[in-house]
Amino acid sequence: MLRNLTRMPADMSSDSRRQLLHSVTDLFLLDRDPNEGSKDHYGQIALSSLSYLGEEERKGYAERVASLSTLPHNVAVSLGSDNSIEVAQLVLTLSPVLTDTDLAAIAVTQSPKHLVAIAERASLSENLTDILVERGDNEVLHTVSANKGALFSDRGFDRLLERGNGDSAVTGALARRSDLSPSRAQRVLWIVGQLAESAGPDGKPVENVSSLAKQARQQRLEVKLLLADVAAKVREVDDVLTMLADEDRAYHLAQVLAQVADITIEQALRVLMRRDASGIAVTCRSLGIGTTAFRAILQLRARRLYFSSLDIDDDVDGYTKLDLSTAERTLRFLKLRTKIA
């Protein structure tokens, strides 16, 4: 059916194309695992229709498909590259289809608002934060510095401190982060001290930044102790993961998963914050994580990724049926691939 629909008459009205796209999308969404042929045909229809739709219609469509993992890649790129931020915003923030290469290309060609949307993604690679920090305006800097799923290269972090020099919003966001290395945290604390002795942009003294930095230091110490307790088997991994998930501490939760699974923190953060739950399910299942802790992790993901809580029960049910040996093999493959890379 989708194959036939790709042969649309050229003289179709915009309203007819809108109705066709709406109907075909309904049909496409019925298949949770469409084959490449179906995706290709659907992509042709979507792209052919989008070019005839107005901004409001494109926005409505983008909001509907932004988080779909099955969305054809060319459609996701088209929506994310739309000159209208109203159309592109949710796709840039939520789409699991867009690659780092796609996002980087959009970041160097589109508006600062597009960069803000990218900076709000649940996780950001060092390459992307390099671009955001270099090209972004103050709003982008504020957003990316507060995003605890954002990784920074040494160059990117240096540039962020340079461009955010004297900006209490950037410094305050960094002071709140408990994932900074000791050397980076020390540099932020020095800036905090400088700001505490001066006035903010509104002429008033900068307040609360020192207390935020102190809280971040305490959390860094706490997670070190938790990791030591887990290694010594003084605490159950499930209990620690549940606590961190309930407190919405995604980065620290990734640290615990990384240590227990013997993978990198970046890998743990990536599987944790991907919209597709299969990666985090395989990781947790291979470690013998119970359903209570796994549900808490899914609830953290739902808060961060704007999932419906209704999806959690289905994911937990799927988790209980996941074969342990398959999960262990998949995790071993992940480790092997990392060593080869």
pLDDT-derived band at 5 (thresholds 50, 70, 90) equals very low
Backbone angles phi, psi at 120, to 5 degrees: -90, 0
Q: Residue 97: is its pLDDT beyond 90?
A: yes
Pick the more confident residue, 225 or 270: 225
Residue with tokens 């071993």: 332
pLDDT-derived band at 213 (thresholds 50, 70, 90) equals low
Taking only the tens place, the pLDDT of each residue in 294-327 is: 999 999 988 877 676 677 988 899 899 888 888 8
Cβ-contact 187, 195 below 8 angstroms: no
Q: Would you give the distance in Å from CA 239 to the centre of its chain?
A: 25
Cβ-contact 100, 132 below 8 angstroms: no
Cβ-contact 152, 160 below 8 angstroms: yes
| End-to-end Cα distance, the chain | 42
Task: Tell me how far CA of residue 213 lies from CA of 181, 285, 292, in angstroms.
Answer: 13, 35, 32
Taking only the tens place, the pLDDT of each residue in 21-74 is: 888 888 888 888 888 988 998 999 899 889 889 999 999 999 999 988 899 999
**Secondary structure class of 70 (helix, strand, coil):** coil
The CA dihedral of 19, 102, 88, 94, to the nearest 10 degrees, is 90
Distance CA 275, CA 288 (A): 22
User: Which token pair is 205?
Assistant: 């003294």
Residue 127, exposed/middle/buried by CB under 10 A (0-12, 13-18, 19+)? middle
Backbone angles phi, psi at 183, to 5 degrees: -70, -40
- Secondary structure letter of residue 199 according to DSSP: B
Q: What pLDDT does 135 receive?
A: 95
pLDDT-derived band at 196 (thresholds 50, 70, 90) equals low
Cβ-contact 58, 76 below 8 angstroms: no
Distance CA 260, CA 26 (A): 42
Residue 112, exposed/middle/buried by CB under 10 A (0-12, 13-18, 19+)? middle
Of the candidate ranges 112-126, 155-169, 318-332, the one whose mean pLDDT is the lowest: 318-332
Residue 21, exposed/middle/buried by CB under 10 A (0-12, 13-18, 19+)? buried
Beta-bridge mates of residue 124: 150
Summary mean pLDDT of the chain: 84
Residues with Cβ within 8 Å of 76's Cβ and at least 6 positions away in sequence, in order, are 91, 95, 97, 98, 102
Q: How many Cβ atoms from other residues are within 10 Å of residue 265's Cβ? A: 17
Backbone angles phi, psi at 66, to 5 degrees: -55, -40
